Structures are given as structure tokens and as C-alpha cells.
Amino acid sequence: MKVIVMYGAGDVRVEEVPDPTIQQPTDAIVRVVAGCVCGSDLWPYQSLPASSSGRRMGHEFLGVIEEIGSEVSGLRRGQLVVAPFVWSDNTCDFCREGLQSSCRHGGTWGTWGHDLDGGQGEAVRVPLADGTLVPLPVEEDSALIPSLLTLSDVLCTGHHSAVTGGVRQGSTVTVIGDGAVGLSAVVSAKRLGAERIILMGRHTDRTDLGREFGATDVVAARGEEGVAAVLELTGGDGTHAVLECVGTRDSLQTSFSIARAGGTISCVGAPQYDEVTMDFGLFTKNIHLTGGVAPVRKYIPELLPDVLSGAIEPGKVFDRTVGLDEVPKAYQAMNDREALKVLFR
């Protein structure tokens, strides 16, 4: 089968590898129908050291079950399923607490040396299939495929930021970042009843989509100028929730400056920093700092009905669709900001 392998910064290749096989009785083999490139994939695309073994890529996919192990009981061949970006048994103590991202027996897709499949390929061996995969009640040619694919990561990550950020009816919210996760955070904040949603982003095509998703204001400025703009919009107070969806030190420092006293900052952008400055002024504001890796498996059942009904349309974050052979070019397009998020079929 064909898969995507990254050998270093800017070096993404399409390769042939052996088809996956059942290795454990709890495995399933999923033929990928749709997958995508994640914004977090761009960090290694920009900085990964060169390697002779390469790294299997991709953690967002949905597809059709082709084979199941002897101990898989809740799934059947031929089902369309979506996979969270972390596989889990969904039964351990952390999973029962709704933290499948910390499952004692789980893991992530794609590793060094090709010893685990990534989501950017023609098929995937899914460990702990009963706990990981969620059946979808549509066919593989459904027009809902793009929106259903967002359940594997970006929609649930945006939702996680809104939930942990304490967004509720009447909240004021700032979303930092106009990437797919930031736009999904706008969708989620609107869904949870936020009264005002300020989107901080500089790309007009993306912030226009953010307005469609529910953003009430857009701030294109960054740094001190961006902080001043948000404070002006909020009478100097800042917002109840700040959803940090970028992962840079600057975006977090901005969050500290625009959070309302007693408010919450939820960080879901993959951190690209080792330390940040937290001064006494921040201490006196009683700010809550939260976020982290989204437990996607927890959120899919809650969000799935709204995707199926069309109440939300997160699949609009995909602005380009390609075949698997074109995925290396998709990385470049996203890295150059020529595409927001690329779906492959």
C-alpha cells in the first residue's frame, strides 16, 4: 500500500510498504477513505532532523473496516468508522474519567521506523479497535465526509478548548489563531452559547470563514497592538475565556494580557516553547490556565449528532482536496499558507 513518510524538514515522500495485518486479537484493519494534513504536522515539516528511517505521518482519518481480530466484538466488517488521533481501550481508569488521551494502554499513530501505521496512507492497523473506533451511520460517499473527518481531531480539539475554557451561555471569548483548530474553537464557542467571540487572525479568507462560524469581531493585529485592540473591544477588561490555538510563546503571552480577571486560558496549540513569563500582575488577576491534548474519543458521541444534522459544518475548514500521491504538495501548500487544511481521498 501507499503511505506518507517524512524523512526530515521539507522531505515528505509517498512510499510503498506491506499491507497491514492483524497482529493482536483486538486489532482491526481500516481501509482509509479520507484523511488530512494537520497543522501540527507542519512543525516537523519545518524542523525535523533528517533520518534514514523516516517517520510515518498522519493521525486524522476515517475509513471502512476490512478485517477484525477475534476479540473485537463491537464492530463489524464494512462499517464506516472514524478514528480519534489517539487510540485507547476506553476502559482503563483514565478513560473512564474521560481522559482517553492518557489511556494506560493507548498510543498515537505513526512512529519512527514504520513500526506503526500512520493515518496518511491507504490502510491502517488500529490497535484496541473496540475502544478506539466510532461507527458512522453514513456511506463512504456521503457529502458529510469532510465534516465527519474533523471529529478525528480539529473539531474535538476546538471543542476541548471551549469546554476547558469554561465557555457557556453569555460568555465573552477570544480565539487566538485562524487555523483549522482556531476556527473549530469558534464553532465550539458558538455552539456552547458564547455571546461575543473575538477571532485573532490575519488571513482574510480564514477570518471570513470564522465570521460564518460565529465570530462577532476580528482582530488582525498581533503583539501589543493586538492586545490593545481586544482590550478596546472589551472596555479594558478582556474576555472570560481565551482559547489559545497556535502554540507559540507569543500567542500565550498575548493570552495572559487579554484574559479577564478570574477568566480562563485554554491552550490547545501544540507548544513550541520551553518557558514563558508569568509576572505578578498575572498572579493578581486569578487566571486559570488549562487545556492540553484533547480526549477526542470522549467528545465524538457528543458532537456527532450536530455534524449529522448539519447544525454545524466544520468540514468547511478543508479548502483543498487531493489524492494520496499529492499529499507532499499539500504539506508545502499549507506551510506556505496557500491552503488552510488539505483533505485527501
Q: What is the mean pLDDT of residues 27-50?
A: 96
Class of residue 91 by CB neighbours under 10 A (exposed 0-12, middle 13-18, buried 19+):
middle
Strands (E), the chain: 2-8, 11-16, 28-36, 55-56, 61-68, 80-83, 86-87, 107-108, 123-126, 134-135, 172-176, 196-200, 217-219, 239-244, 259-267, 288-291, 320-322, 342-344
pLDDT value at residue 278:
79
* pTM (2 d.p.): 0.95
Tens digit of each residue's pLDDT (9 = 90 or more) over 118-152: 999 999 999 999 999 999 999 999 999 999 999 99
Note whether 321 and 345 are within 8 A (CB): yes
pLDDT of 111 > 80? The answer is: no
Q: Cα separations (Å) of 315 from 62, 215, 252?
A: 13, 17, 27
Tens digit of each residue's pLDDT (9 = 90 or more) over 42-63: 999 999 999 998 999 999 999 9
Class of residue 202 by CB neighbours under 10 A (exposed 0-12, middle 13-18, buried 19+):
middle
pLDDT of 71 > 80? The answer is: yes
Residue type, 15: E
Note whether 335 and 167 are within 8 A (CB): no
Tens digit of each residue's pLDDT (9 = 90 or more) over 242-264: 999 999 999 999 999 999 999 99
Q: Cα separations (Å) of 158 from 24, 32, 117, 255?
A: 33, 24, 25, 16
Among the listed residues 56, 44, 64, 62, the one whose alpha carbon sits nearest the alpha carbon of residue 118: 56
Per the listing, cell 451511520 goes with 137
